[in-house]
Structure 1
Amino acid sequence: MASTVIITGASQGIGKATALRFAQGGYNLVLASRNVDRLNAAAQELKLIAPRVTAIPTDTRDADQVKTLIDRAISEYGSIDVLVNNAGVYISGPADSFTLEDWHTAIDTNLWGYIHTIHALLPHFLSKGSGTIVNVSSSGGKVPIPYLVPYSASKFAVTGLTQSLQSELSPKGITVCGIYPNLIKSDFMERAIFRGKDEEDVIARRKQLEQVLSVPVVEKPDDVAKAILDAVKHKKTEVIVGSAGASVFSNRLFPDLLQWVMRRTFKNSDKDY
């Protein structure tokens, strides 16, 4: 009998690449995303590979929608083996330029979305004494990044969520793993939020990120997908993906220098006082 995985943010980018990897590994797929058209299109592609595929449009910020997702998945498949929390949003700009709505968007998507799925699925994992939770975080959940404060705050919270859950749940047969990539060359720019001192600053920040993503060595969604599947297979609790390792290592050895470099790199029109 095939194992079953639930993947959020599954219609594109890391989520879709992860779904493909799990399909190739013989898993049943439960795919969740807000974008209904893209979600259904991804599901149709994956049905050619996976034993079974179910697409359930879900906004993970909404606890009721997430409960429906989990209840339906358990009802259709009987048992869920893996949860991959991946849905997220990138947000960039000076700290004083963000509205409270921006803060809520970052925290509600990147943190509460993960909490909602875990809260809904955890009783099922506990009842069967097994399961794997994978939280896709970021190097920004290990290294403080100026001008990404709401994003980095949400990802540091995911790191704490992941590590504390792993400590509590590992004796109960449940593995909790954090995945930490750097920026990934994917279509997350469509949903990214940019703020600045003025419109010129906003445009400059967007162009700066586009330039970074155009560099050939930047990792791709499949690099993260491979790391996720490997983590599940080998019950890993933490994977730092590719170039993120250099960021984490540099922050340990030269934190002040790294922070100075990042401030100079990302401040754009922001001024030192």
Structure 2
Amino acid sequence: MTTSQPKAVLITGASSGIGEATARRLAELGHRVLLGARRTKRLAALAEELRAEGASVSHHELDVTSLDSMRAFADAGLEAYGHIDVLINNAGVMPLSPIADLRIAEWEQMIDVNLRGVLHGIAAVLPQMQRQAAGHIVNVSSVSGHRVDPTAAVYSATKFAVAAVSEGLRQESRDIRVTVISPGFTQSELTHRGGSTQAQATARAAAEQLAIPASAIADAIAFAIDQPAHVDVNELIVRPTAQG
């Protein structure tokens, strides 16, 4: 069990990858969890599985690119638990391609999900957390928020922006904790959608060789939110030992 009191935790992008692993880990630790994603069948199956193990888990359809959808998700968490202790902004996309390919629709998708989605999450929970004079926002970024590689320029731009938003929010807050989690190669579905065929294949090959399990990132998130209220873990970078 967690060493702190069970918390009401909202997780975006919870239908697979890091979001799913985090839901499993936090539920195991006794936290009350609301799962959000577009793939509601997956969410329902995961929630049912975790409830069968004795966890307090609910799910709600969520499109982070819609502020209305994000606010409805936060309202569902508030209705279910009476307060919101933690928001984990995890939803993300990574269609890699050279800039010269001009895959503009995919650039916009990354901006909408990776950056605007994080801002929508903050906007949806911040007023409640301010009323509570307590709360924790965890933004899942990437090592690509610290370095730029070919084919990842726009993806990196969104993740650098997440770091900037997170640091600004941290500096403006005295009662609300802000954490950025930056995974390296991690087992997920990020390289299976969109992008150029060659770039995505290269990323998949590297991931297959190097990737750590999503549970490693879930453990980092669990560590950050389990600290005492006066301790704010601002950033954790978690990557495979062999990753350059």
Structure-1-length-normalised TM-score: 0.82
Distance 2:242 2:222 in 1: 19
Distance 2:133 2:16 in 1: 32
Does the 8 A contact of 1:27 with 1:50 survive in 2?
Answer: no
Question: Match for 1:237: what amino acid?
Answer: N
Distance 2:85 2:78 in 1: 10
The C-alpha deviation readout for 1:76-117, integer Å capped at 9, x for no partner, is 210111100000001211102133311110000001111101
The equivalent of 1:99 in structure 2 is 103
- Hey, which of these two has a bigger chunk of helix by percent? 1
1:50 offset after TM fit, Å? 5.2
Q: Tell me how large the CA RMSD over aligned residues is.
A: 1.7
The equivalent of 2:181 in structure 1 is 179
Mapping of 1:136-215 within 5 angstroms? 136-169=140-173, 171=174, 173-190=175-192, 192-195=193-196, 202=197, 204-215=198-209
The equivalent of 2:234 in structure 1 is 237
User: Is 1:135 matched with 2:139?
Assistant: yes
Cα distance change, pair 244–140 in 1 and its aligned pair in 2 (3 A): farther
SS of residue in 2 equivalent to 1:135: strand
Distance 1:77 1:50 in 2: 17
> Unaligned 5+ residue runs, structure 1?
196-201, 248-273
User: Is 1:55 matched with 2:64?
Assistant: no
Percentage identity across paired residues of the two chains: 34
Distance 2:22 2:234 in 1: 17
1:68 offset after TM fit, Å? 0.7
Which consecutive aligned stretches of 4+ in structure 1 deviate over 4 angstroms post-superposition? 244-247
Corresponding residue pairs, total: 236
Distance 1:160 1:245 in 2: 28
User: Is 1:223 matched with 2:223?
Assistant: no
The C-alpha deviation readout for 1:215-255, integer Å capped at 9, x for no partner, is 1x4211001000011011123111011338975xxxxxxxx
Cα distance change, pair 246–225 in 1 and its aligned pair in 2 (3 A): same
Question: Match for 1:73: what amino acid?
Answer: G
Larger radius of gyration: 1
Distance 2:200 2:237 in 1: 26
Distance 2:212 2:84 in 1: 30
Mapping of 1:8-87 within 5 angstroms? 8-49=12-53, 51-87=55-91
> Unaligned 5+ residue runs, structure 2?
none
1:187 offset after TM fit, Å? 2.4
Distance 1:86 1:176 in 2: 14
The C-alpha deviation readout for 1:144-175, integer Å capped at 9, x for no partner, is 22211111110000010111111111x2x110
Structure-2-length-normalised TM-score: 0.91
